[in-house]
Structure 1
């Protein structure tokens, strides 16, 4: 089955304008843009036939082409990354069995997260979309809770049924737990990792649906599939000692850089 990875990127972010071009310094002190680090993460995934950056911004296009990425220009009217992926797929003429949306704000995404996601979608014929989830340890959960108390969105959490099919995604921390956890403790909360794999038919359908009330309230694009009754598979992945965090706010830059130093990522 042929696989396309699309990295959607836009300059006009409400929370963090210009985010894809923000520089992140690795363990050796080298600064690379967020979009370049996301592209390098995508290039490290095995079994992928093509990787493209999808954007509507000339500054991002120029930066991406400067480090060797293939770029597909898309419309500024795309409301989220999934719509941008659908438009990019159409612009490329289709021809892929699985399309992966590796969001451009997740440079710490390990290759095995995406590989597990692709395998999960291949193994569940009922699922039209798949996305990875990572069980939080106490350190991650406490970081989420601290962000929420400070009025920041620190990440998305997911709850799902015994088949792994999603019940809900939220920027609040769900499910509620009143317990206190040490950094190394296992918790019942799952961090939703911002990567998606779609069957092309589901991706094409998505672009024609109106945004539903839950998607509008949470600002989470995957809820549109759920509001249409389309199954979303949550694939549990393992950290294997790697830390994971998305760049959502300016405050996340030093946090991600510290993680990169700690893990020895250049």
Structure 2
């Protein structure tokens, strides 16, 4: 299975302009993501899909490969599809690893590739890790996923799912009711997707779905259209960077793994 990893990366993020070039423990953010993808077993080629010459120059400066894409593209998934078409080469699997995930672990990427290899009929894949702390269940930026017995996604949400029925129906925060062993039933979705090329093209041709717009979660478009999404399990947390204040937490996680000082 020949696998392409695409890292969508745009300069004009509304809350953090220039985010892909922000220094994270001495390297630009996009370099961390690129190097993790390169180290992942089963990945054959890694490219950064960007709309900005400054990002492309930085990527080429550390020895990476950049593909220029249309600034008007609405999402990272569209940028991933555009990069695939621009390369004009056959791939069996295409990864979309978000360019603002500098703590993405190579083993997590490899687990998603292995999932797609083991299930050749699976059109899409992603990854999830355990929640370490109950407080994170109530963070809307920590997306939750519920899976079926085949480890395929049933639903993604910014709300804590599944709901604890034995908590008070008037209590939005069910932390007091959460038993230590129940935390294992909650899975945290990570910012990584795998597609068969045909599934990627089909996905980007679909209009946004109302559920997607309510939750601001693009993957709900696929579920609503009946596209199965397999979920690879990983023990490794990955933290996205949305605003400048997120950098400190990411650097702490990288130091914990011995990757940064």
Q: State TM-score, norm by structure 1.
A: 0.87
The CA deviation string for residues 21-63 of structure 1, in whole angstroms up to 9 with x for no partner, is: 11111xxxxx111111111111111222111000111121111
3-state SS in 2 of match to 1:137: coil
CA distance in structure 2 between the partners assigned to 1:193 and 1:64 by the alignment: 23
CA distance in structure 2 between the partners assigned to 1:217 and 1:76 by the alignment: 25
Partner of 2:135: 142
Partner of 1:76: 71
Partner of 2:4: 4
**Mapped pair 1:129 → 2:124:** yes
Gaps of 5+ in 1: 26-30
CA distance in structure 1 between the partners assigned to 2:239 and 2:222 by the alignment: 24
**Mapped pair 1:160 → 2:158:** no
CA distance in structure 2 between the partners assigned to 1:172 and 1:9 by the alignment: 27
Partner of 2:214: 217
The CA deviation string for residues 100-131 of structure 1, in whole angstroms up to 9 with x for no partner, is: 11111111111111111111122224420000
| Aligned-pair Cα RMSD in Å | 2.0
CA distance in structure 2 between the partners assigned to 1:185 and 1:218 by the alignment: 24
User: 8 Å contact 2:42–2:113 — kept in the other structure?
Assistant: no
Q: CA deviation at 1:245?
A: 1.5
CA distance in structure 2 between the partners assigned to 1:183 and 1:109 by the alignment: 27
Partner of 1:28: none
Partner of 1:250: 244
Map 1:102-251; keep pairs closer than 5 Å.
Answer: 102-138=97-133, 141-145=134-138, 148=139, 153-177=140-164, 178-180=174-176, 186-239=183-236, 243-251=237-245
The CA deviation string for residues 191-235 of structure 1, in whole angstroms up to 9 with x for no partner, is: 101111110100111221111112222222212211211111111
Farther off after superposition, 8-17 or 179-188: 179-188
Cα distance change of structure 1 residues 258 and 183 upon mapping to structure 2, 3 Å threshold = farther
CA distance in structure 2 between the partners assigned to 1:164 and 1:232 by the alignment: 9
User: 8 Å contact 1:137–1:185 — kept in the other structure?
Assistant: no
Gaps of 5+ in 2: 165-173
**Mapped pair 1:265 → 2:259:** yes
User: 8 Å contact 1:53–1:70 — kept in the other structure?
Assistant: yes
Q: CA deviation at 1:3?
A: 0.7
CA distance in structure 1 between the partners assigned to 2:34 and 2:22 by the alignment: 14
User: 8 Å contact 2:43–2:113 — kept in the other structure?
Assistant: no
Q: State TM-score, norm by structure 2.
A: 0.88
Q: CA deviation at 1:248?
A: 2.1
After TM superposition, what 4+ stretches of structure 1 lie above 4 angstroms from structure 2? Answer: 180-186
Q: CA deviation at 1:8?
A: 0.5
